[in-house]
Structures are given as C-alpha cells and as structure tokens.
C-alpha cells in the first residue's frame, strides 16, 4: 500500500512539473506582470507573447504597450521603416500613449509629410507626457518657427527647461545629429528662420553668447535656449 501511494505521489509531481506554469495564475495577474516585462525589455515581451495563448492575451493590453521600453530604440533606425512589423509595433505603442513611441512615429510623419505646424503639434503630445527627447525637438522646432506666436515661444522655453533640468541637452543633441544624418536629411525639419531671442529684461547675457562662449556661468534659460536653437539651425538647416 505504501509503495502504491509513493508511485501515485511521483506521478502527481511529474504531472505538475509538465503542466504549463501560466495556468497556475489567472489572466488578471499575468496582465499586471506583462507591463513590468515590457518596461524592462522589448525582447522579453516578444518572448512572453510567443510562449502561449494566455501570455499572448496578457500582452495585448494597452498598459503593456504604454510601458514598453521603446526609448532604447534609435529614432534614426525607424524613419524609413514604414509598413514593417517594427513600425507596426511602434504605432501600437503610440496609440497606447507611449511617449517614446509617439516621438518615433511623429518624427517619421514630420519627415515624410513635410514641415507643418500640425506635425509639430503631434510631437508636442509626446513632450507633454514627459519624454525628454520629445521635449528637445519640440523646443527646437517651436522656437525656430517663422511667425512664432507668444504661446509657441512660451511652450518652447518650457520644453527646453525640462531638457536642461534633466541634464540631457548634449545627449539629445547627439540623438538628433544621428537622426538628421540619414538619407532623409534632404527634408529639412524646420524652415531656417531666425530663432527667438531672449526676452528677459533683467538678463545680463542677452545677445552676448557666441559659438565659443562658456555656458557654465550662464543662468538665463532663454539665452541657453536661443544658443541651442542657433546650433540646431546651423547643423540641420543649412
């Protein structure tokens, strides 16, 4: 009898080991885990989706695409990938309000649809959600527009403040240097207008910053923004 009981226990252990682990937890739990996976690694997300139908269902919620780690994907690599599975994935993430994915998709639209205020407005959606790179390109485009409105200038300075406070000005500059170095660079990202000048009445550095200036002692955000926009126009709109 004892021997029979031991055999039954062994069979039960083997059965549990071969049972799909996904079935041990309900879909609701996996749908909470999936966004965590997506925020850590897109590759792990794809592997999870391919594991079984339950995982595929858990990975199909908007929250998963909203938190997918799109920011690690180079923007320049996706500007001419229209219609590919990679771009389809990015668009799905953008529809779920993933800021980095919105930036990727909107940059593609900006290049291939031409320079329009409407195109910039779609970029600023990602900036409003806090994406630093979106804040940078939105600030550069808004502050280099011809016939800038006071609201566009205000928003441009606001977005640049986000980038500066994040300590990401040089990183963002490098990112978009790569973006505009591709074969699509014949399509200018902005009309080469004169950038907005510092409007602060108490600023001591207004109009005095040149290409060789030491910016470490410059405290005026508007002057720093003007300097960065001039570099942007000089690099990408010549």
Block means of pLDDT (10 residues each) for the chain, length 238 residues?
51 47 81 94 93 91 94 71 76 91 80 61 84 91 80 90 92 82 51 55 61 61 80 67
Half-sphere exposure of 107 (CA within 13 A, CB side): 32
In a domain, residue 105? The reply is no
Identify whether the C-beta of residue 100 lies closer than 8 Å to the C-beta of residue 67.
no
User: What sign has the CA pseudo-torsion 107, 109, 114, 117?
Assistant: negative
In this predicted structure, what is the pLDDT of residue 40?
94
In a domain, residue 30? The reply is yes
In this predicted structure, what is the pLDDT of residue 184?
47
What element of type H or E holds 55? helix 53-58
Q: What range defines the domain where residue 59 resides?
A: 25-69
In a domain, residue 29? The reply is yes
In a domain, residue 127? The reply is no
In a domain, residue 75? The reply is no
In a domain, residue 124? The reply is no
In a domain, residue 183? The reply is no
- Choose among 138, 60, 68: nearest CA to 98: 68
Q: Which residue has the tokens 């000048």?
A: 197
Q: In whole angstroms, what is the distance from residue 69 CA to residue 98 CA?
A: 9
Q: Which residues contact 206 (CB under 8 A, 6 or more apart)?
A: 197, 198, 200, 220, 222, 223
Identify whether the C-beta of residue 100 lies closer than 8 Å to the C-beta of residue 75.
no
pTM, 2 dp: 0.71
In a domain, residue 217? The reply is no
Q: In whole angstroms, what is the distance from residue 127 CA to residue 124 CA?
A: 5
Counted domains in the chain: 1
**Could you give the dihedral angle defined by the CA atoms of residues 20, 25, 31 and 37, in that order, rounded to the nearest 10 degrees?**
-60
Q: In whole angstroms, what is the distance from residue 168 CA to residue 158 CA?
A: 15
In this predicted structure, what is the pLDDT of residue 20?
59
Identify whether the C-beta of residue 152 lies closer than 8 Å to the C-beta of residue 145.
yes
């Amino acid at each position: 009898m004892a021997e029979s009981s031991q055999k039954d226990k062994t069979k039960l252990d083997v059965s549990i080991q071969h049972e799909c682990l996904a079935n041990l937890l309900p879909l609701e739990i996996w749908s909470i885990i999936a966004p965590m996976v997506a925020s850590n690694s897109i590759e792990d997300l794809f592997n999870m989706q391919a594991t079984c139908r339950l995982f595929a269902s858990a990975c199909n919620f908007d929250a998963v695409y909203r938190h997918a780690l799109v920011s690690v994907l180079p923007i320049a690599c996706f500007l001419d990938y229209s219609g590919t599975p990679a771009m389809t994935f990015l668009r799905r993430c953008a529809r779920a309000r993933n800021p980095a994915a919105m930036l990727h998709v909107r940059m593609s639209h900006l290049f291939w649809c031409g320079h329009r205020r409407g195109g910039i407005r779609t970029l600023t959606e990602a900036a409003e959600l806090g994406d630093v790179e979106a804040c940078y390109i939105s600030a550069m485009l808004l502050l280099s527009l011809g016939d800038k409105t006071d609201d566009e200038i205000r928003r441009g300075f606001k977005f640049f403040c986000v980038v500066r406070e994040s300590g990401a000005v040089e990183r963002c500059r490098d990112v978009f240097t790569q973006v505009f170095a591709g074969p699509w660079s014949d399509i200018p990202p902005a009309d080469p207008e004169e950038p907005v000048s510092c409007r602060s009445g108490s600023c001591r550095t207004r109009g005095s910053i040149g290409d060789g200036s030491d910016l470490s002692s410059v405290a005026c955000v508007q002057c720093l923004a003007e300097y960065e926009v001039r570099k942007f126009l000089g690099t990408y709109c010549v």
